[in-house]
Amino acid sequence: MNLKAKYTSLIKAEAQRLGFLSCGISKAEFLEAEAPRLEKWLNKNMNGEMRYMENHFDKRLDPTILVSDSKSVVSLILNYFPEEVQKDATAPKLSKYAYGTDYHFIIKDKLKLLTQFIQEEIGAVSGRAFVDSAPVLDKAWAAKSGLGWIGKHSNLLTQQVGSFYFIAELIIDLDLEYDSPTTDHCGSCTACIDACPTQAIVAPYVVDGSKCISYFTIELKEQIPESVKGQFNDWMFGCDVCQDVCPWNRFSKSHNEPLFNPHPELLSMTKKDWEEVTQDTFNKVFKKSAVKRTKFSGLTRNIRFLKK
């Protein structure tokens, strides 16, 4: 076995040991196919108030600018599909990814361990870890690395486990064996397009971010426009509709990461509990949660918007 193959299988085995669903590797190079797509998307203002999407255009498309001397992009996916969901069907809904501890912390810790392993087993390898927190096109790299295909709802999809997982990367200065992209298995299905409450999937594979419920309930800092009143299907933080209706998510299996388990009170909170939620309850239930991004004021704004 040559060194490249040896290092590649070492990294993939350790990623699996750390709990990642799978690991794929691509050559660190300019994402040629993504460049015109991203430019067109930004020109149509589909990023809404997410102005940060306009920054670092070159870095988003070329990891060698982001991490000097980089040779490989190691893409990893981590399952977050919960065993149980909220019990009160009439209560305001929370996206499943936000049930437990904020994924940024959990995945960063795992990536730290993976980086340490690489340095101990292989030598002086340098690079950077990314968890949805820098100008990196996670889904494009995961697809390029053969971890799945980008579905019509623009999420990464796999035949084996659907789409309820996080994506992260290590961009490193080590030559490895590269994986090939997989094929698209959406076929003629339009379930996600048909089900989107705000018609945010404006064409197959194109999501207008400024129309997405996740954008309104998390990213938008001002008042939610009255024009989308009554279209939120009770979502108060994020939205899972396009994933919930996807036939491939029949194969989702619950995660085995204890830190992704929700606070004991969260799933049993009723509609009334949410409508009367206090700062104290918010602090307790969402102590280390991604929901803190929207703050208590943002969450209560969203709940009021659903109520009116």
Q: Which sequence positions are flagged as catalytic?
A: 132
8-state DSSP, 225: P
Q: Which two tokens stand for residue 120?
A: 């101990």
Residues 6+ apart with CB under 8 A from 37: none
- Taking residue 171's Cβ as centre, other Cβ atoms within 10 Å add up to 23
Whole-Å CA distances, 263 to 41, 89, 149, 151, 196: 37, 18, 33, 31, 29
N-term to C-term CA, the chain: 65
Instruction: Identify the three-state secondary structure at position 58.
Output: helix
Three-state SS string over 121-138 comes to HCCCCCEEEECCCCCCCH
Q: DSSP of 5-48, one letter per residue?
A: HHHHHHHHHHHHHTT-SEEEEEE----TTHHHHHHHHHHTTTTT
Burial class (CB in 10 A: 0-12, 13-18, 19+), 70: buried
